[in-house]
Amino acid sequence: MGQGSETDVMSALAAAGIVPVVTITDADAAVALAGTLVDAGLPVIEITLRTEAALEAIRRIAAEVPGAVVGAGTIRRPADIEASLEAGARFLVSPGTPPELARAALEAPVPFLPGCATPSEAMTLAELGFGTLKFFPAAAYGGPAALKAFAAPLAGISFVPTGGVAPDNLETYLKLPNVPAVGGSWMVNPEWVESGDFARIAAETLTASTLARRIRT
Protein backbone atom coordinates (compact mmCIF):
# COMPACT_ATOMS: atom_id res chain seq x y z
CA MET A 1 0.00 0.00 0.00
CA GLY A 2 2.80 2.39 0.84
CA GLN A 3 0.37 4.93 2.12
CA GLY A 4 -2.94 4.23 0.55
CA SER A 5 -5.52 6.92 0.16
CA GLU A 6 -7.68 7.88 3.11
CA THR A 7 -7.22 5.10 5.60
CA ASP A 8 -8.63 5.01 9.09
CA VAL A 9 -5.16 5.48 10.48
CA MET A 10 -4.49 8.64 8.48
CA SER A 11 -7.88 10.01 9.53
CA ALA A 12 -7.12 9.25 13.17
CA LEU A 13 -3.75 10.94 12.80
CA ALA A 14 -5.28 14.11 11.40
CA ALA A 15 -8.06 14.07 14.00
CA ALA A 16 -5.57 13.83 16.88
CA GLY A 17 -3.21 16.41 15.36
CA ILE A 18 -0.34 15.18 17.52
CA VAL A 19 1.51 11.86 17.56
CA PRO A 20 3.36 11.17 20.81
CA VAL A 21 6.80 9.79 19.94
CA VAL A 22 7.59 7.31 22.68
CA THR A 23 10.94 5.77 23.53
CA ILE A 24 10.35 3.02 26.05
CA THR A 25 12.84 0.85 27.90
CA ASP A 26 10.38 -1.31 29.87
CA ALA A 27 7.63 -3.11 27.98
CA ASP A 28 5.80 -3.63 31.26
CA ALA A 29 5.00 0.09 31.26
CA ALA A 30 3.62 0.10 27.72
CA VAL A 31 -0.04 -0.68 28.38
CA ALA A 32 -0.43 1.83 31.20
CA LEU A 33 1.39 4.47 29.18
CA ALA A 34 -0.73 3.93 26.08
CA GLY A 35 -3.90 3.95 28.15
CA THR A 36 -2.86 7.27 29.66
CA LEU A 37 -2.26 8.78 26.23
CA VAL A 38 -5.57 7.49 24.85
CA ASP A 39 -7.50 8.80 27.85
CA ALA A 40 -5.82 12.20 27.56
CA GLY A 41 -6.79 12.54 23.91
CA LEU A 42 -3.80 11.33 21.87
CA PRO A 43 -4.61 7.79 20.70
CA VAL A 44 -2.21 7.63 17.73
CA ILE A 45 1.07 6.55 19.31
CA GLU A 46 4.50 6.03 17.75
CA ILE A 47 6.91 3.70 19.54
CA THR A 48 10.47 4.27 18.34
CA LEU A 49 12.49 1.15 17.53
CA ARG A 50 15.39 2.52 19.51
CA THR A 51 15.17 0.16 22.45
CA GLU A 52 15.10 -3.57 23.05
CA ALA A 53 11.64 -3.19 24.56
CA ALA A 54 10.07 -1.42 21.57
CA LEU A 55 8.63 -4.37 19.65
CA GLU A 56 7.26 -6.00 22.77
CA ALA A 57 5.71 -2.66 23.76
CA ILE A 58 4.00 -2.42 20.35
CA ARG A 59 2.80 -6.01 20.69
CA ARG A 60 1.24 -5.39 24.09
CA ILE A 61 -0.38 -2.09 23.16
CA ALA A 62 -1.84 -3.59 19.98
CA ALA A 63 -3.26 -6.50 21.96
CA GLU A 64 -4.37 -4.77 25.14
CA VAL A 65 -5.24 -1.14 24.40
CA PRO A 66 -8.09 -1.22 21.91
CA GLY A 67 -8.45 2.56 21.83
CA ALA A 68 -4.87 3.06 20.70
CA VAL A 69 -3.56 3.20 17.15
CA VAL A 70 0.02 2.09 17.67
CA GLY A 71 2.78 2.49 15.11
CA ALA A 72 6.52 1.99 14.88
CA GLY A 73 9.05 4.78 14.43
CA THR A 74 12.77 4.81 13.65
CA ILE A 75 12.22 2.39 10.77
CA ARG A 76 15.64 2.34 9.12
CA ARG A 77 15.70 -0.83 7.04
CA PRO A 78 13.22 -3.21 5.40
CA ALA A 79 13.63 -5.78 8.18
CA ASP A 80 12.27 -3.20 10.64
CA ILE A 81 9.04 -3.12 8.63
CA GLU A 82 8.59 -6.88 8.89
CA ALA A 83 9.27 -6.94 12.61
CA SER A 84 6.94 -4.01 13.31
CA LEU A 85 4.08 -5.46 11.30
CA GLU A 86 4.50 -8.79 13.02
CA ALA A 87 4.24 -6.99 16.38
CA GLY A 88 1.00 -5.32 15.31
CA ALA A 89 2.09 -1.84 14.19
CA ARG A 90 -0.67 -0.07 12.28
CA PHE A 91 1.56 2.62 10.79
CA LEU A 92 5.26 3.07 10.21
CA VAL A 93 7.53 6.11 10.36
CA SER A 94 11.12 6.59 9.23
CA PRO A 95 13.59 9.37 10.03
CA GLY A 96 14.91 9.32 6.44
CA THR A 97 14.16 7.24 3.37
CA PRO A 98 16.96 5.61 1.40
CA PRO A 99 15.81 4.02 -1.90
CA GLU A 100 15.75 0.43 -0.64
CA LEU A 101 13.59 1.44 2.31
CA ALA A 102 11.26 3.44 0.07
CA ARG A 103 10.72 0.40 -2.15
CA ALA A 104 9.88 -1.79 0.84
CA ALA A 105 7.66 0.93 2.30
CA LEU A 106 5.55 1.02 -0.86
CA GLU A 107 4.75 -2.65 -0.33
CA ALA A 108 3.76 -2.23 3.32
CA PRO A 109 0.11 -3.00 4.05
CA VAL A 110 -0.21 -0.06 6.46
CA PRO A 111 0.43 3.68 6.10
CA PHE A 112 4.09 4.62 5.97
CA LEU A 113 5.30 8.14 6.72
CA PRO A 114 8.70 8.36 5.07
CA GLY A 115 11.14 10.83 6.55
CA CYS A 116 12.53 13.70 4.51
CA ALA A 117 14.18 17.03 5.18
CA THR A 118 14.49 18.79 1.82
CA PRO A 119 12.34 19.65 -1.22
CA SER A 120 14.29 17.21 -3.41
CA GLU A 121 13.65 14.35 -0.99
CA ALA A 122 9.99 15.32 -0.71
CA MET A 123 9.63 15.45 -4.49
CA THR A 124 11.26 12.05 -4.91
CA LEU A 125 8.92 10.49 -2.33
CA ALA A 126 5.85 12.18 -3.81
CA GLU A 127 6.76 10.81 -7.25
CA LEU A 128 6.91 7.33 -5.73
CA GLY A 129 3.36 7.78 -4.43
CA PHE A 130 3.72 8.98 -0.84
CA GLY A 131 1.39 11.89 -0.07
CA THR A 132 2.18 12.47 3.60
CA LEU A 133 5.81 12.70 4.68
CA LYS A 134 7.57 13.08 8.00
CA PHE A 135 9.60 16.33 8.03
CA PHE A 136 12.61 15.54 10.20
CA PRO A 137 14.42 17.05 12.02
CA ALA A 138 11.87 19.82 11.70
CA ALA A 139 13.41 22.51 13.88
CA ALA A 140 16.91 22.03 12.52
CA TYR A 141 15.68 22.18 8.91
CA GLY A 142 13.79 25.44 9.17
CA GLY A 143 10.73 24.67 11.28
CA PRO A 144 7.39 26.26 10.39
CA ALA A 145 9.06 28.77 8.05
CA ALA A 146 10.38 25.95 5.87
CA LEU A 147 6.98 24.24 5.74
CA LYS A 148 5.33 27.53 4.85
CA ALA A 149 7.80 27.93 2.01
CA PHE A 150 7.15 24.34 0.84
CA ALA A 151 3.38 24.87 0.56
CA ALA A 152 3.09 26.49 -2.86
CA PRO A 153 5.85 24.72 -4.84
CA LEU A 154 5.16 21.37 -3.17
CA ALA A 155 1.37 21.66 -3.35
CA GLY A 156 -0.37 18.38 -2.64
CA ILE A 157 2.34 17.08 -0.32
CA SER A 158 1.58 17.00 3.43
CA PHE A 159 4.16 16.97 6.17
CA VAL A 160 4.20 15.70 9.74
CA PRO A 161 6.98 17.77 11.34
CA THR A 162 8.91 16.01 14.09
CA GLY A 163 12.05 16.95 15.96
CA GLY A 164 11.88 20.04 18.14
CA VAL A 165 8.11 20.40 18.16
CA ALA A 166 7.16 21.75 21.58
CA PRO A 167 4.28 23.50 23.37
CA ASP A 168 5.59 26.93 22.35
CA ASN A 169 5.61 26.22 18.61
CA LEU A 170 2.80 23.66 18.38
CA GLU A 171 0.19 26.21 17.38
CA THR A 172 2.35 27.66 14.58
CA TYR A 173 2.88 24.19 13.09
CA LEU A 174 -0.73 23.06 13.39
CA LYS A 175 -2.04 26.17 11.69
CA LEU A 176 -0.12 25.36 8.50
CA PRO A 177 -2.41 23.94 5.79
CA ASN A 178 0.16 21.37 4.69
CA VAL A 179 0.52 19.92 8.22
CA PRO A 180 -2.13 17.32 9.16
CA ALA A 181 -0.35 16.52 12.42
CA VAL A 182 2.93 16.90 14.29
CA GLY A 183 5.04 14.34 16.11
CA GLY A 184 6.80 14.96 19.39
CA SER A 185 8.13 13.50 22.59
CA TRP A 186 7.61 16.39 24.97
CA MET A 187 4.57 14.83 26.69
CA VAL A 188 6.30 11.46 27.10
CA ASN A 189 9.62 12.53 28.55
CA PRO A 190 11.55 9.26 29.11
CA GLU A 191 12.23 10.25 32.72
CA TRP A 192 8.51 10.38 33.46
CA VAL A 193 7.95 7.10 31.64
CA GLU A 194 10.73 5.41 33.59
CA SER A 195 9.66 6.78 36.95
CA GLY A 196 6.01 5.93 36.26
CA ASP A 197 4.91 9.56 36.49
CA PHE A 198 1.71 8.97 34.53
CA ALA A 199 0.02 11.95 36.18
CA ARG A 200 2.55 14.28 34.59
CA ILE A 201 2.23 12.51 31.24
CA ALA A 202 -1.56 12.75 31.42
CA ALA A 203 -1.44 16.45 32.26
CA GLU A 204 0.99 17.35 29.45
CA THR A 205 -0.93 15.20 26.99
CA LEU A 206 -4.27 16.71 27.90
CA THR A 207 -2.89 20.23 27.50
CA ALA A 208 -1.50 19.32 24.08
CA SER A 209 -4.59 17.50 22.81
CA THR A 210 -6.88 20.29 24.01
CA LEU A 211 -4.77 22.90 22.21
CA ALA A 212 -4.70 20.82 19.03
CA ARG A 213 -8.46 20.45 19.04
CA ARG A 214 -8.95 24.16 19.66
CA ILE A 215 -6.65 25.09 16.77
CA ARG A 216 -8.42 22.72 14.41
CA THR A 217 -11.96 23.93 15.08
Ligand X SMILES: O=C(O)C(=O)C[C@H](O)[C@H](O)COP(=O)(O)O
Catalytically active residues are 46, 134
The verdict on 84 binding ligand X (CB under 6 A) reads: no
Total interface residues for ligand X by CB under 6 A: 15
Contacts of 73 (CB under 8 A, 6+ apart): 21, 46, 47, 48, 49, 92, 93, 94, 95, 183
Which member of 3, 36, 51, 74 binds ligand X (CB under 6 A)?
A: 74
Distance CA 178, CA 52 (A): 34
Of 36, 82, 90, the closest CA to residue 62 belongs to 90
Which member of 121, 164, 169, 192 binds ligand X (CB under 6 A)?
A: 164
Binding mask 88-127 for ligand X (x = CB under 6 A): -------x--------------------------------
Sign of the alpha-carbon dihedral angle for 110, 113, 115, 118: positive
The verdict on 22 binding ligand X (CB under 6 A) reads: no
Distance CA 187, CA 129 (A): 32
Binding mask 33-52 for ligand X (x = CB under 6 A): ---------------x-x--
The verdict on 132 binding ligand X (CB under 6 A) reads: no
| CB closer to ligand X, 29 vs 165 | 165
Of 65, 75, 69, 74, the closest CA to residue 45 belongs to 69
Minimum Å distance from CB 194 to ligand X? 15
The verdict on 135 binding ligand X (CB under 6 A) reads: no
Distance CA 4, CA 129 (A): 9
Which member of 16, 21, 47, 57 binds ligand X (CB under 6 A)?
A: 21
C-beta of residue 143 within 8 angstroms of C-beta of residue 161: yes
Question: Which residues form the interface with ligand X (CB under 6 A)?
Answer: 21, 48, 50, 73-74, 95, 136, 162-165, 183-186
